[in-house]
Structures are given as C-alpha cells and as structure tokens.
Chain A
Amino acid sequence: MAEARVGVVTFPGSLDDRDALRAVAFMGGEPVAVWHQATTLDGVDAVILPGGFSYGDYLRTGAIARFAPVMAAVQEFASGGGPVLGICNGFQILCEAGLLPGALIRNRGLAFVCRWIHIRSEGLPGSADAPRGEVLHIPVKHGEGQFVASAEELERIESEGLVAFRYCSAEGMVDERFNPNGATHGIAGVRNEAGNVLGMMPHPEHAVDPDLGPTGGQHVLEWLLAAARARVGAVT
C-alpha cells in the first residue's frame, strides 16, 4: 500500500512545522513540506496546519494566514472531505477561515502557558484508537488558547457533538482546575460537522516520541493517518 502523504504548511512565522513533519514520519506517514504561497497541495492525503505565530500574529491570531494563497487549496481539500488537522496556531487559522466554529482569545490568566496537561477525547470520527473518554497526556503552549463561541454556536457545537477534546484531570474528570486557559466548557479541540477537519490547542506532534515524554499525541496522528490512508485506498 502506498504511504499516506501528509502535507505540513509553512507560513512565515510557523514554528512547529518541522516538528509536525518529524512526527508524521515517526508515526509512519510520508511528510511533505508545503509552502504558504503554493496554490495546490500536490496530491497529499492529509494536511496539517502547524503551530507558531504566523505573520507574528500581531493583528489577531491566524487572521492574516487565512488569506495565504495555500489556504484556498486547503479550503477545497477540506470541502472534498480531505482530513485537515490544525494545531494551536493552525487551529486559530482554521477558525479564522471559517472551517471550524468558534474562536481563540487570550488566555484567562493573560500569560503564555507551556504545560503538560490531560485532555479527554470526546470521540474522534472513524478512530478505534481514541474512543470516547480516552485520556491523553499532551502539552499545551500558547498565549491565546481560550476557546469561545456565541451562545447559539456553543449550543450547536455541543448538541452536534463537535467537541473533540476537553481539558481534564489525569483520571478524565473535566473541571476548571485542569483548564489551562479558561476555555469555554473546557474545550481543547473541535471538529467540523463532516468530521474531517479537526482543530486543537494541545500539541500532538510534541507527544509522539517516548524518548521525549508522554505519547498522548500518537492517538491524534493515528486518526489523521488512518483518514489519509482511507483516501489513498479510495483513489487506487
């Protein structure tokens, strides 16, 4: 079977792009670097928008990156059902691009926070590896990761089951004490209605290699690679 090819987009100011490429390779996928000025995705089977401070995030996080030439191709890829994972700044960009609901604002504590935390999977579509309730040990590192949405949108997110992850204790209990940024309803990640676009503040690419620490990120990348392989299979 052909290897699943996963594109990782580098915007000016992307920081965790090389880490995402390395994590894809570690998990058995074929990493493909994608430049922000590209107008096609070169036939990749999945896309990662990595963490960082695209364009310095001097305006509003992700607000400029969503207009990068590559984003038109990402939009098209996503609307065709292609799996897209936005991590941290990538999540912020997906929200700005309208591919995911809600928005990310400054942490309630006002300071940047880098910390190993736990998140509870609320069920990733099509994944056997991270069933509902599984607790992942994974790091966050962001200054603007507080998930917010309007009352109606929040109602829709919850009722349609679009919450992918919530901050929780090591045992899986969702409580404000374990919420690093004040996110509404402890939301750490959301997905779109079709289930192919996932955005999250925690960094799965920094939690795959057991030599460096816990490996809660493996589940997320396994989901992405499984979705990508399904497309490889569908095409061939």
Chain B
Amino acid sequence: MTSAPSPEPLHRALGMTDEEYAAAVDKLDGREPNRTELAMFAAMWSEHCSYKSSKVHLRTLPTEGPQILVGPGQDAGVVDVGGGTACVFKIESHSHPSAIEPYQGAATGVGGIIRDILSMGARPAALLDPLRFGPLDDPRNRYLFSGVVAGIGGYGNCIGVPTVGGEVKFAACHGPNPTVNVLCLGFAKADRVQVGRRGGEGNVLVLIGAATGRDGIGGVSVLASRTIEEDAHESRPSVQIGDPFAEKLLVEACLELADRGLLWGIQDLGGAGLTCAMSESAARAGVGADLDLDAVPLREPGMEPFEILTSESQERMLAIVRPEDAEAVEEVCTRWGLRASRIGKLRGGSVLVVRHGGEVVARLPARALADEGPEYDRQHEPPSGLARLREEDPADAPAPASLEDAFLEVLGSPGVASMRWVYEQYDSLVQGGTVLGPGADASVIRLEGTIRAVAVSTDGNGRFALLDPYLGGAHAVAEAARNVATAGARPLAVTNCLNFGNPERPEVMWQFAEAVRGMGAACRALGTPVTGGNVSFYNESGDSAVYPTPVVGVVGLLDDYRLLVRHAFPSGGLSIYLLGRTLPELGGSQYADVLLGNVTGKPPALDLDAEAALHRFLYDCARQDHLASAHDCSDGGLAITLAESAIAGGVGFTVASPEPSLPAHVALFSESASRVVVTVRPGRESEFESLAGFHSVPYSRLGLTGGSRLRFEGAFEVDLSDALVVFEGAIPSRMAGERVAG
C-alpha cells in the first residue's frame, strides 16, 4: 500500500513560490496568511499585477518631459495636447484569455482598457488593436483571428468608441499564443484628470456597475502569469464575459460623476478585481480601508470571500466619495440604471480589514499587496544559436527568378496586404472625431471644437526583435513615431505593450532586457517619454514562444488637422521622392520571410539622430504644406510602400531605383529604417529640397506619379488594377467561409 501523495500546498497551486510565501508571512509579522489573505497575495504578487520580473528593467525607461502630465504608475499616462486638454492613453494585452476564448478574451480586453482611461476621468475616444496570429492556412488560426476581430468589434462597436487603427501580422510562433493588444486613448480637461490623492480617511467606497460573479477568478494568476498548455480549455472559467451595454452606461455615469465634482477618487476593477482596486487605492492614498463583502452585490449565492475578492467580473468601477456626496452619486448611477453599493470606507492607518458575515476574514497592510510585492532581477543570457542566425544574410540569397512575381507575392502576403476585412468590422466613425481612420500610417482624431488633432500609431516588428531585441525595441519606437510624423504630427509620448515568453528562461529575459534598453534609447533620442504600458509574459506553449514582440503606441499632436498629410497619391504628375538612404538590408524582412521562408540576418541599422531629423523635417513640411502625400517605408520595403500609395490613390507611377548600385530586388525590398516616400506639391520642389538640406535629411527623386501602371524602370511593371486585386483580396480569400464567432 502506498499512501496518497501529500497535496500541493495552496500557495503553490495559486502560483506563489515558497520564497514568496515566506515573504507574505513576513509582511504579516510572522503570522501565516489564511486562505482569503493568501488568495489576495497570490493575485497581487502575480507577474501580471506586480511586474516582479520586469520592473527592474522598466525603471530605466525615460518618463519625464514638459508634455507629460502624468507618467507611469497610474492607470494610464497623460500628455498635454494644448488648450487645457489632456490626452490619456494606454495599451494592454489580453492575449492569454483570447487564446482560450477569442471572442470574449478580445472583447473584455477592450472593456478593460476603456475602464483604465475612464478611471483617469477621461472620455474614451479611440481604440487601436495590434494583433499577431499564426498563419491563416491553419483553421485554428482562422478561428482565433475571426473570433478576436469579432470580439473587438462586438464590444467596441456597442460601446461607442471608434476603433481607428492597429496592425495585424502573422507568424507560426504566434499560432498557439496569439498576441492581442489594445490601445485606448481618451480626452479630459487637464484640470479634471483624476489622479490618486493622499489621505481621505472616512471617505466612502462605492462599487458601481455589474454584480460580482465567479467569472474571471484567477484571471491574472492562473491565465496571465503562466504558460498555456494542453489542458488550456479547462481555463475557460478564468476568462471573463463582457457586457458592453453595461460598460457604456458605466462610462456615461462615471463621466457625469467626474463632471459634477462628485469623485474624490476612482479606480477601475480589472485584473485581481476588488483586491487590486482596494489595495492600490488605499496604498496610493497612504491609508487603510474597511471592506464589507456582504455589501457587494453578487450574481450567485454562496460565493466565498476569496472569490468575491479576486473575481474579475467586468464592468465595475470603484468610486471613492466624500460621505456627503454618496447620495448624489447613487442618484446619478440610478439614473443610468446602474447599481451603486457602499461597500466600505477609507480608514486611518494602513491596514485593509475585510469582513464577511460579520467576521473579519482578512486583515493585511495595503502596501504589502500593492507596492511591496517581490522583485526579481532574473538571469539573462542571449539564446544559443542567435549569432549563427544573424550571420545568414538574406541579401546573399540569389535574386528571384521573376521580380514581378516576387513583388505580387510580398504584396499579397497577409503581413502586408490590406486589412480592410478586419477594419470594416469596426465602427471607426462614432463620436465624430475621426479625421483619418484605419488603413493609413497613423490615425488622427480631432479635439472637439478645435483645429488641433491627435495622431496615434502602434507598431512592433517581432522578426527584428527576434534577431536583435535591442534594435527591435528601438525600431518599434522609431516606426510608430515615424508613422505619426509622416501624418504631419509632432510625436509626444509612448505607451508600450511588451509581449514575451517565459521570463524564468534566461534567453527570454535577455530578449526582454535588450528590447527595453533599445526602447529607452529610442525614446530618449526622439523626445518621446514612456507614460506607462503593460508587460505580458508567458506567451509560450511547450517549446514554442512568440517572437519577442515589443509593441509601441505613440501619440502625437497636429496643430491643424487640415494640414494632415495622407498616404494616397492624390493625382498624376507629382514628383516622387524617397527620404532616407537605402542599404542592402533584407535581414528579418517581409521579403525574406515570404520568398525565402527565413527570418535571419541582422535587422536594419537605426541611426536615431537621423530618425529625429527626419521627424522634424516631416513636421516642417506639413506645416508649410509642401507635401501632397507621405507614406512610411516599412514592411515590404520601397516597392510595397509605392504600391500602397498608388492603390490608395488609384494613381500609378514610374520610378527609378533608389540605389542603382544594389541588385533590383535588394533595393526594392530592403527595409532600411528612417525612410518615407513623399510626393511634393507642384512647384514646391526646390523649397522642399532646400528644407531637406537644412534638416540634413538625405533624399532622392525617384520619378513621377501618373498612369495606370506601377512601373519600376529597369525592373518590372504591373497594372494598378492587378496589384489592387492582390492587395485587397489576400485576406478575404483566406477567410472565405469563416463564420464570425460569438
């Protein structure tokens, strides 16, 4: 007879190490935490909530600048966009839930980021969705892709926040672990931005919105802080369920409360639910709190204290209000058809006291949960084999047999082709501020009642980051900022979503540390501080990790949106210029991926001073109205950039090689950085050229717009209409017959 194996200790089942358990005991002055307290520690000290593996690196990022009103540490970053208006923005990931249940995973990701913006007192005004999936020849990837897109649309469309941009890329390593990021930006009067205040003893905690159920329990600790393995479907109860209608009411009610000055503080309920909202609010205020779980409206009877405390039920906000305002707060909520329950109050000291059925079920310091979690400087070292991978330069491979076929293949590859199939499922117009919607380099939202507008773009190149994470991080910042500058805006600030594998593996930690270092360098050089963001680790299954994927969102300011520069060729007869230099850089390129089937070599070099000069030049060009069009040169290189401007405008072109010394395929598909294709308004050429000289931006005149063909002199030419069919047809033909989930 053998005895049954001794059961796993509870803290390990909840994802805590023995050392972390000992640290928790220490925080309780030597007392062992009870079950409820342990669940609270496990949630707040999870990777997702505590950033325990990342904060040592994130701390090195630049966060200050005159334009920054609120930097990292709050629910979202805030920049000054002039005229007394603040732009609040943040990006987050919802990859793990989306891998399990794509529709609800993506939908609740949208809901969560909207509440982050709302908790700063801002009206959510735009969403962007950077997505990564496995190749579309696999039905499971198609299911995840269509489900995620439907979920984003289902939630965003129903809540009245336009989805104005994003990007979608495909790679085999994102198959088991799709990457689902969502950026939200919103606007508030600068003097109404809600930031955590100190003190407030005696103020009442009012829980607004949905009742609390058993959905999403363990979302942060079970789902987001571990790798996804074979038994993933068993995690479905950890995925939350979204109700966008309830969230719409929540948005309107909370904004009315903020407008009427009825809020002392406000906090969203997201990962780790009430535990996180309570402990962060109290820790920020430097006080303690009393919480009565019997006052929390529940969806079902018999919920245990730890379930109520860690439930991630959606569409809830925690308002902190002065006792004399509590009644008025309840009236506003009732008018919007929302529940408002007084569930506790702030108290002096620093301890959270949680009661249930009249008994104290948890008593622990707020700061221990919110601020004093573990912190690791994990071991990091470069992956073995990386050096060899980098030596294999795709520019050394033989030229393609047919340049025309190669061009059409790259143009029709899902990472380059039109994403109309995606963005037509999103309402990009609601709120009436969308000056430039999806399908362009940046999206542009005007500030109501002014001629100013905010330009925003997201970017991230996993192939570059795989081959050189430092450069990958720097490129992500540079390209997102370049997209914003290409539209004519001045880049202001950065938010980032860092999607990586298991941080306990030294090579993943090395990729992470390098990417952060590269981002920091680029942010400093471009004058765009980091205002916050999100880290998503454990994006791996078995031996397959996602590309290291730093996704960067950049917000910029257009002084006059009527001077916005679009990417379409507006007419024939315009001079086409390429800004920047073209080098033989095919490492990690779209061309190498599609034509050679490899991700090897070195990513393009990045001269950050040249990049900054390019942005200043583009900004001056826009203000002086020199440009008829401008388009960032990135995935697929010059050939694809020209084709996209031609397709968007319905106007062909004739161009010479930018670099006759290079083989045609290298010159056309190289992804050298800091390049933009522009057309210049007739008669402005010499002013344009002298301004370029002033800014020391290299340029070459490539040719002219016009006709109905894409003509690459000395190389090949195709009909605009044929290119259009390939570009627009790529995604619909792969998704034909795929039912929309949800």
Contact = CB atoms under 8 A, between A and B. Distances in A.
Contacts of B434: 212
A2 interface: no
B435 interface: yes
A111 B158 contact: no
Interface stretch (A52-60, A96-104, A169-177): A52-60
Given A15-B160, A111-B150, A111-B740, A55 B245 contact: yes
10 contacts: A13-B248, A19-B431, A22-B432, A53-B244, A56-B243, A111-B740, A112-B154, A113-B425, A115-B424, A209-B432
Given A55-B245, A114-B425, A206-B432, 17 more contacts: A13-B245, A15-B158, A15-B430, A16-B430, A18-B431, A56-B158, A56-B243, A110-B739, A111-B740, A112-B153, A114-B423, A114-B427, A141-B427, A143-B157, A203-B429, A212-B434, A212-B435
Given A12-B249, A53-B245, A212 B562 contact: no
Interface in B423-467: 423-432, 434-435, 446
Given A112-B427, A205-B432, A56 B740 contact: no
A16 B158 CA distance: 11
Question: A23, A113, A212 — which one has the most chain B CB atoms within 10 A of its CB?
Answer: A212
A226 B427 CA distance: 30
A143 B158 CA distance: 10
A19 B424 contact: no
Contacts of A55: 245
Interface in B235-252: 243-246, 248-249
Interface string B240-273: 0001111011000000000000000000000000
Contacts of B427: 112, 114, 141
A158 to B, nearest CB: 30
- What class of interface size applies to chain B in its complex with A? 20 to 34
B336 interface: yes
A139 interface: yes
A206 B562 CA distance: 18
Contacts of A52: 160
A152 interface: no
A213 to B, nearest CB: 9
Question: A22, A112, A203 — which one has the most chain B CB atoms within 10 A of its CB?
Answer: A112
A211 interface: yes
Contacts of B431: 18-19
Given A13-B248, A56-B243, A111-B740, A211 B435 contact: yes
Q: Ordered nearest first, which 6 A-B pairs have the shortest CB separation?
A: A56-B245, A15-B160, A19-B432, A53-B158, A141-B427, A206-B429
B153 to A, nearest CB: 5
Interface string A67-97: 0000000000000000000000000000000
Contacts of B154: 112
Contact of B337 (A12, A112, A114, A209): A12
Contacts of A57: 158, 245
Contacts of B739: 110
A57 B160 CA distance: 13
A103 B424 CA distance: 23
Contacts of B428: 114, 141
Contacts of B429: 114, 139, 141, 203, 206
Contacts of A115: 424
A113 B424 contact: yes
Given A13-B248, A55-B245, A211-B562, A110 B432 contact: no
A212 B430 contact: no
Contacts of A112: 153-154, 157, 425-427
B591 interface: no
Interface in A198-236: 203, 205-206, 209, 211-212
Nearest to A139: B429
Contact of B424 (A51, A56, A58, A114): A114
Interface in B549-599: 561-562
Nearest to B448: A22
Nearest to B159: A15
Nearest to B421: A111
A55 B243 CA distance: 11
Interface string B516-554: 000000000000000000000000000000000000000
A228 B273 CA distance: 50
Contacts of A211: 435, 446, 561-562
B738 to A, nearest CB: 10
